[in-house]
Chain A
Amino acid sequence: MAPPLSVRLKPLVALVLPPLAGFALLLLIWSLVAMGNSSGLPTPLDTWKQALTVFSDPFYSNGPNDQGVGWNVLSSLRRVALGFGLAALVGIPLGFIIGRFEFLSRMINPIISLLRPVSPLAWLPIGLLVFKGANPAAIWTIFICSIWPMVINTAVGVQRVPQDYMNVARVLNLSEWKIFTTILFPSVLPYMLTGVRLAVGTAWLVIVAAEMLTGGVGIGFWVWDEWNNLNVRNIIIAIFVIGIVGLVLEYALIRLATAFTFDEVRT
């Protein structure tokens, strides 16, 4: 006999209830603040209605300064992809080299330690100066902010390759290339993917701020533009959009990382 419906639904309720309660609380506080003072913060319902309008036509284009939210998100993602991709091309090989050679590690580590704490936005003027354009400057900023986690995590991964595996390589007398493809790369991969995940997360944080400064099309610029229009509802919508896109990126990369992590490395 199947258990009654109420019993079967229990795990589902336990799974869904706490997050729903959390969002309900958020909406409640938001409504109270929106009603309670005269700051002009729109209510959740107002924002929802506006969101329906915004998402009814996400891909309209009325010139460079008035485009649908879809175009804005895609432009931002394109910049992130470009900046991040270039950073991966440079950062991951650099991480391998730093991890493998003690001398280079000691040569480059102080530079990384010095530059890493600097806000990536501080590099924006340098980008504007060198590349003479807002778009490449924004990509440059993303490049700078996403390179550090990839270099550092890859290097740590290389340094933590278990000595046992390297002994196997030595006893089997494998070539450098074979060592790289069968031992070094697979055991560094989980560390590398952690670096990639951190890099994409940071890049998505930074792109909003960078676009506020550079203008053009992009979700960050959209936020700033709507602030100039005093359209706070759209700003709140943008916040949710940024959050959801960030969440999706993070989730996708975690799934990717789990697929490439093997039992005995996972510990």
Chain B
Amino acid sequence: MSTLSKYLQIDGVAQTFRTATGDFPALRNIDLNVTKGEFVALIGHSGCGKSTLLNLIAGLTRPTEGTLLCANKEIDGPGPERAMVFQNHSLLPWLTCFDNVYLGVERVFGNHARIDGRAKESKAQLKERTDAALAMVGLTHASHKRPGEISGGMKQRVGIARALAMEPQVLLMDEPFGALDALTRAKLQDELLAIVAATHSTVVMVTHDVDEAVLLADKIVMMTNGPAATIGEVLHVALPRPRSRVALADDAQYQTYRKAVIDFLYTRQGHIEKT
């Protein structure tokens, strides 16, 4: 039970960056637990260190202080069990959408030393997994196109397919829809809700969009302004699933959650723009 309730365990994490002008404390005193199957949104003003925290969970950077555990194992580097969807999609432009997804699939399931200890899969099985992942994000028709030939929303969907195809234990998303227009963003949010419901994924998502956070998350982690940012407040969103953005638009409870996040962001953590 304890592994389930504290699937991702972050204890007393602090991150200080060495810069030319001296030490820059980005994060301090971060304590956070994520349950298996939980959807967590990290929200805060830009520069509050939410991406820094996500990079720590991904293992791309190591904390200056504290520990991060995933399934009771210390996170000591990046790994395919913590797949990441990048803000700028980060697809390799010389590979087709299929090959971009296949790259991750091959690494996880076509490998002799599989993480789950099972035998390595055949080429046909790997291909099937890749096709299934692309079908899940509705991109079967574009699988042989290169990223340069498809729209921004489609690229982001390939990025999600690449991450999901690896069947990660935790899906990390760094403002995945930040660069998209409002309509595409709404469509992808709905698709993500459906995919997460179907796959029971554990998700940690960085966002600066209040509606996105309330619509998607079970738990909204609100961060104070940097430098030396920390978790200001945690809001549990008890809205029933499946959630529909149309029905929620005039739901009183939804508005209460929304108000709580806005209140935190703009009243208590009113951002002072440095010029």
Contact = CB atoms under 8 A, between A and B. Distances in A.
Contacts of A165: 90, 92
B86 A167 contact: yes
B83 interface: yes
Contacts of B77: 170
Given A171-B78, A172-B80, A264 B107 contact: no
A173 B168 CA distance: 13
A160 to B, nearest CB: 14
A186 interface: yes
Contacts, number: 54
A246 B56 CA distance: 53
B270 interface: no
Interface in B88-119: 88, 90, 92-95, 103-104, 107
A32 interface: no
A167 B94 contact: no
B107 A172 contact: yes
B148 A263 contact: yes
Interface in B13-64: 58, 60
B84 interface: yes
B: interface residue count bin: 20 to 34
Interface string A114-146: 000000000000000000000000000000000
Contact of B148 (A182, A186, A264): A264
B107 A173 contact: yes
Interface in A136-182: 164-165, 167-168, 170-174, 178, 182
Interface in B155-185: 166
A183 interface: yes
Given A164-B88, A165-B90, A171 B60 contact: yes
A262 B93 contact: yes
A262 B145 CA distance: 13
A186 B148 CA distance: 15
A25 interface: no
A170 B90 CA distance: 12
A256 interface: no
Contact of B104 (A164, A172, A262): A172
Interface of B: 58, 60, 77-80, 82-84, 86, 88, 90, 92-95, 103-104, 107, 146-148, 166
15 contacts: A164-B86, A165-B90, A167-B84, A167-B90, A171-B78, A171-B79, A172-B80, A172-B107, A173-B79, A173-B107, A182-B92, A182-B103, A263-B148, A264-B93, A265-B93
